[in-house]
Amino acid sequence: MTQYFSNKVIIITGAGSGMGRAYALAFAKLGTKLGLNDFNLAGLDETIQLIKDQTPSCHMVSQAFDVSDQNKMQTFANLCQQKLGNAFVVINNAGVEGAHMPAWQMDLSNYEHVMKINFFGVVSGTRAFLPQLLSEHTGHIVNVSSIFGLAGTPNHSDYCASKFAVRGYSEALMCELQNSGVQVHLLHPGGIDTNIAKSTGGQAFSKHYLKTSPEEITEYLIKHIEKGSTRIVYGNDSMKIWLGSKFVPLKILNKLIWSDMKKVIDQKPYNLIKLKKGMFK
């Protein structure tokens, strides 16, 4: 077992389920102190109980709130610092699914909601905890994008926009912090078997693509944080998308992605497509 994280403070947002819960359980076993967040209090409490059952000695602080609320995030950061000490790893993991429909059917509110959590939640977490990392001249920020932050996909323009935004923000942050001692890691999960796809439109997608366990990507992430990897790509179909985004011409890549994903997409909006003035709400 690695001693790199022993007695260090690990902050995880979206820890109430899925990857966030798997990260929390794994880091607890490494002898860390945990600051945990989730919007869902019941899910967060369940994660805390699991940690208590498996690692009774783990020292934890937790709060349930919306990660896009900068004031609440700053309050959380202050509490974690007071109770646990300065953060060593910050994993901005909290996220929500998109609306699972073509761009011309989406309301502007769909984009606003997804960007608020998936992108501004990352910005909020980074801004609140970065001063702690900089004061120690060491540490790690892990910002969770997606393979949908590497390539655009049909029925996911809202989600892709948020994950591309996380990618751009994180890559800029890497440049800015390269001489600070603080490392930025950009995680692009592939199809991870979590409960993120709650809507009816996401069920076919979830069943077909979300196959890698949260525990598997957690093990991979922990290893690559310690190694200092900047871009971390892992999970079902992740390598295929990453290589395609790097080496396949975009026009061809679009056709390949459509061919692969059309089987899990409602075709009716595409059969009736009529791009004309006023179709965007």
Active-site residue, from 23, 111, 159, 234: 159
CA distance 278 to 178: 46
Locate 248 and state its tokens: 């396949």
CA distance 161 to 174: 20
CA dihedral 225, 231, 233, 238 (to 10 degrees): 170
Cβ–Cβ under 8 Å, residues 161 and 205: no
Question: Which DSSP string do the residues of 43-54 spell out, in sequence order?
Answer: HHHHHHHHHHHH
CA distance 222 to 171: 20
Return the ∠ at Cα 34 (arms to 33 and 35), rounded to 5°.
135
Determine whether 111 is an active site residue: no
Residues ≥6 apart with Cβ < 8 Å to 42: 16
Identify the burial level of 221 via C-beta atoms within 10 angstroms of its C-beta, where 0-12 means exposed, 13-18 middle and 19 or more buried.
Answer: buried
Strand 89-92, strand 60-64: pairing: unpaired
Q: Minimal CA–CA distance to 74: which of 11, 116, 138, 9?
A: 11
Locate 220 and state its tokens: 């991979």
Locate 279 and state its tokens: 């179709």
Cβ–Cβ under 8 Å, residues 138 and 130: no
Return the active site residues.
159
